[in-house]
Copies of this chain bind each other. A is one copy, B any other.
C-alpha cells in the first residue's frame, strides 16, 4: 500500500462539498481503484461558520487559500473557488511553486492564464488537471487528451453551457419570451453572479478555448473566440427555426483552417433531429472529429454537485495512480501561438428581417442579397402587423463576411425597420 494522497480543497460550494462527500463515502473504492488512500488534510473557504451539510471538523481549516496550497501535508491543491484571477490564481501559482499538483474546475482561469500556469507547472514537474472545467461530468478532456491522442483533430464543437441550453429549451417548450425565462433561471439560481458569463457565451467560450488548445496543439487563445450570446434570441426565432426543422443552440465550434484557427461561440440552428438538436435542459454535448476516429459524441450532465465532483475526483484518481501528462497534452513550451482566423467557413444562414410595410421592400432586400452573391434557399413573410413585415430567409451556403456586407447594405435601402437577426445553420 502506497502513502495516502493528501488533498487541500479550496472552495466549499456545491462542487467542493461534492468532492468532500465522495472522499468520505468512498474511501474503500478509491483505495481499491487507485492503490492508495485518498484523504483530505485541510480545507478553505470564504466563510467558516456555515452549515454545509457535511462534517468538516476532522480537516484543518485555512482562511487563506495560499496557505492551504502550500502546506507541507498537502500533495494536491484542489482549486474550486473560481474566478480567472484573484485568490484562485494566486493560490494555484503558490501551489505549483511549492511543488504541488493542481486539480481545478476553473475554466476562466485556464482560458485566461492556462499557458502561463502550464509553463510553470511543467517547469516544476507538476501537473494541472481540469476535467471538471469543461462539460461537467463528461470525461471529454480525457477523451481528447488521451483516448484520441493519435488523431489530427479536425473539428471540436459542443453545447457547453447548461444555463443557456435551459433557457433556450424552456423558451421553446413554454413559448415564453427570453426575458421571462431569464428571470425564471435567475430565481432558480441557475445564473452566475454576473449573468453575462452565461448568456453572453463567455463561460462556454472559456471552455471552447481550453478544448481548442488540446485539440490543435495551440496556446489557449480565449481572445480569439468570437462570442455572441443568446440575449437577442427571440421566441419568434425559436418558433420559426422549429418550423423549418431546426433548434437554436448556443454552439461552440473550433476548427483549424488554412487561414488559422476559427473559434466561435454563438447561437446556431442545428437540425431538430440531430443529437445536438435533441439536447434539452442542462445537458451538455461535445462532438470531436478526428482524421482517424471520424466522429465521437459525448453527452452528459454539464453541472451539478455529483457530476462535477465526479470529474474532479477522476483527475484526483489519475494523480493517485501516477498518471502525469502535460497540461494541454503536448508540453506547453512547444505549443504554437494560435493564429486566430475570423470565422468565415461557408454555411447556410437563417436571417430574420423586419421590413417597413411598403411596396417593393422585399424586392430591395432580395436584390441586395443577390448583389452580394448570396442566393436564397427559402423565403417567407411570416406575420404582419400594421407597420412592419417580418421576413424570414434561409440562404444557401455563404460566408459570414458576405452576409455582413449585405446586412450593412440593407440598412441603406430605407426599408429596414429593425436590426436583422442572422444565425448560422451548422452542419452537425
Contacts and interface: CB of A to CB of B under 8 A. Distances in A.
Interface in A1-33: 18, 22, 26, 29-30, 32-33
B139 A143 contact: yes
A296 B138 contact: yes
Nearest to A135: B296
Contact of A150 (B290, B294, B316): B316
A120 interface: no
A150 B314 contact: yes
Interface string A138-163: 11001100111111100000000000
Interface string A320-332: 0111110001110
Contacts of A295: 300-301
Nearest to A316: B150
A148 B139 contact: yes
A33 B18 CA distance: 32
A154 to B, nearest CB: 12
Copies of this chain present = 2
Contact of A297 (B300, B304, B307, B314): B300
Contacts of A292: 18, 22, 137, 306-307, 309-310, 313
A233 interface: no
Contacts of A26: 150, 152
Contact of A321 (B18, B137, B301, B325): B325
Contact of A142 (B22, B142, B278): B142
A331 B34 CA distance: 9
Interface residues of A, number: 58
A139 B26 CA distance: 25
Most chain B C-beta atoms within 10 Å of own C-beta, residue among A292, A314, A318 = A292
A147 B142 contact: yes
Given A26-B152, A293-B137, A293-B306, A146 B314 contact: yes
A35 interface: yes
B300 A139 contact: no
Interface in A304-353: 304, 306-307, 309-311, 313-314, 316-318, 321-325, 329-331, 334
A235 interface: no
A411 B87 CA distance: 74
Interface in A94-152: 131, 137-139, 142-143, 146-152
A300 B294 contact: yes
Contacts of A306: 291-294
A299 interface: yes
Nearest to A145: B33
A200 interface: no
Given A26-B152, A150-B316, A297 B298 contact: yes
Interface string A386-410: 0000000000000000000000000
A321 B137 CA distance: 25
A415 to B, nearest CB: 42
A275 interface: yes
Given A35-B331, A334-B32, A146 B318 contact: yes
A334 B34 CA distance: 12
B296 A33 contact: no
B147 A131 contact: yes
Nearest to A299: B297
A217 interface: yes
A229 to B, nearest CB: 27
Nearest to A326: B35
Interface of A: 18, 22, 26, 29-30, 32-35, 131, 137-139, 142-143, 146-152, 217, 273, 275, 278, 290-301, 304, 306-307, 309-311, 313-314, 316-318, 321-325, 329-331, 334
16 contacts: A29-B150, A34-B149, A131-B147, A138-B296, A139-B147, A139-B296, A142-B142, A146-B321, A151-B310, A273-B278, A275-B278, A278-B278, A292-B309, A293-B300, A294-B304, A298-B299
